[in-house]
């Protein structure tokens, strides 16, 4: 019987004649091509195996015993975790490379939408907070609205525009929102006291968007809209300081078309009040073009 106890290099091997060649290494049994291979079933061998003491039966040949010991050492090293071979490293490197490539492929899907949204936000869509209740019940106070910047205003459109003449003297922001009633060349008038508003001599029915219970205008007025200007009024006529209230200003209550930030198309916040903003162009369908009124 040869007993091999793992120790630091150099190792010494003691062996004697045996009938069979058997190597027991932890839970490994290794035989060789020559001779008969068998696994020892001696309890003493199993107990010593767990303590990393190895019993090996070999022929009485020093070189054979040395080969067995070398093989035992190699297996032991492998059992404890041998170094990955080159193919394994290449495989992991390939996986890492594929991961980086996948990440690079995702970049356009992240960057492009962000850039597109930024361009839309800057050049196409404006987002605004309503500063007053002048557009009740169409738009509530502090609602958030989206306005398209590239649409040319028409009669009936709800527009967001920059303060033309200190209409917001109380510091409630720089932008206002009203409904367009008259465009350049239009004559807009009202006899007051509940009479309908007229555009180019045609009375219009504004009941579809006026706040319930309010008159089209309690005060009388008559104006001709100048070139490059527009006449605007709130849907909550009794609570709107619109063009009517600023006729003594430098623009006579009219708003430069160049001050228009965009045509409001929908409210988006709060979610419970999200809806499309209607221009109600049908209200003005019978209004003749400017300068052709009867």
Query: Does residue 178 carry a catalytic annotation?
Result: yes
Q: Which of 59-68, 170-179, 252-261 has the lowest mean pLDDT?
A: 59-68
Sequence-distant (≥ 6) Cβ neighbours of residue 59 within 8 angstroms: 17, 18, 21, 35
For the chain, give every domain's residue range.
2-81, 124-284
Task: State the pLDDT at residue 160.
Answer: 97
Which residue is associated with the tokens 């009124």? 293
Residue 27 has which token pair?
Answer: 């839970």
Residue 4 has which token pair?
Answer: 């091999």
Kindly tell me if the per-residue pLDDT of 8 is higher than 80.
no
Whole-number Å distance between alpha carbons of 154 and 265: 13
- 267, with CB counted inside 10 A (0-12, 13-18, 19+), is buried
Query: Does residue 152 carry a catalytic annotation?
Result: no
Model confidence pLDDT, tens digit, residues 149-172 = 988 999 999 999 999 999 987 767
Task: Name the nearest CA neighbour of 75 among 54, 104, 44.
Answer: 54
> Do 181 and 225 touch, CB atoms closer than 8 A?
no
Sequence-distant (≥ 6) Cβ neighbours of residue 223 within 8 angstroms: 182, 187, 188, 189, 231, 243, 247, 252, 253, 254
Whole-number Å distance between alpha carbons of 217 and 103: 62
**Catalytic site residue from 134, 189, 217, 240:** 134
Whole-number Å distance between alpha carbons of 152 and 105: 40
Q: What are the phi and psi torsion angles at 15 (to 5°)?
A: -145, 160
Task: State the pLDDT at residue 67.
Answer: 52
Sequence-distant (≥ 6) Cβ neighbours of residue 11 within 8 angstroms: 4, 69, 73
Residue 98 has which token pair?
Answer: 């594929």
Mean pLDDT along residues 216-237:
98
**Catalytic site residue from 40, 178, 217, 240:** 178
**124-284 has which CATH code?**
2.10.109.10
Kindly tell me if the per-residue pLDDT of 75 is higher than 70.
no
Q: Which of 102-111, 122-131, 168-177, 266-275 has the highest mean pLDDT?
A: 266-275
Whole-number Å distance between alpha carbons of 205 and 216: 9
pLDDT category, 107, cuts 50, 70, 90? Answer: confident
Helix ranges, the chain (H): 43-50, 62-81, 86-123
* SS3 labels along 42-93: CHHHHHHHHCCEEEEECCCCHHHHHHHHHHHHHHHHHHHHCCCCHHHHHHHH
Query: What number of other Cβ atoms are within 10 A of residue 74's Cβ?
Result: 13
**Which residue has better confidence, 40 or 245?**
245
Task: Name the nearest CA neighbour of 222 among 245, 205, 198.
Answer: 198
Which residue is associated with the tokens 């049994």? 29
In what order do the strands lie in the sheet containing 198-199?
202-203, 198-199, 187-190, 221-224
């Amino acid at each position: 019987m040869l007993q091999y106890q793992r120790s630091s290099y150099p190792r010494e091997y003691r062996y004697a004649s045996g009938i069979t060649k058997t190597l027991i290494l932890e839970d490994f049994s290794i035989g060789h091509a020559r001779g008969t291979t068998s696994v020892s079933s001696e309890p003493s061998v199993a107990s010593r195996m767990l303590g990393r003491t190895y019993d090996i039966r070999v022929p009485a040949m020093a070189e054979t015993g040395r080969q067995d010991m070398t093989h035992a050492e190699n297996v032991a090293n492998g059992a404890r975790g041998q170094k990955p071979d080159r193919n394994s490293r290449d495989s992991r490197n390939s996986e890492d490379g594929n991961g980086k490539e996948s990440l690079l492929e995702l970049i356009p899907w992240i960057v492009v939408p962000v850039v597109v949204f930024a361009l839309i936000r800057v050049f196409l869509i404006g987002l605004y907070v309503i500063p007053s209740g002048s557009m009740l019940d169409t738009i509530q106070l502090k609602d958030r609205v989206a306005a398209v910047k590239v649409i040319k205003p028409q009669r009936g459109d709800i527009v967001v525009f920059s303060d033309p003449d200190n209409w917001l003297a109380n510091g409630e922001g720089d932008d206002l929102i009203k409904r367009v009633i008259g465009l350049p060349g239009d004559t807009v008038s009202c006899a007051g006291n509940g009479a309908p508003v007229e555009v180019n001599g045609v009375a219009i029915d504004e009941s579809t968007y006026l706040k319930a219970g309010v008159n089209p205008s309690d005060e009388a007025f008559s104006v001709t809209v100048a070139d490059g200007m527009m006449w605007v009024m709130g849907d909550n006529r009794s609570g709107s300081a619109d063009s009517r209230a600023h006729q003594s200003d430098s623009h006579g209550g009219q708003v430069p078309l160049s001050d228009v930030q965009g045509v409001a198309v929908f409210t988006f916040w709060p979610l419970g009040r999200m809806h499309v903003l209607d221009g109600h162009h049908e209200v003005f369908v019978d209004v003749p073009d400017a300068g052709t009124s009867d």
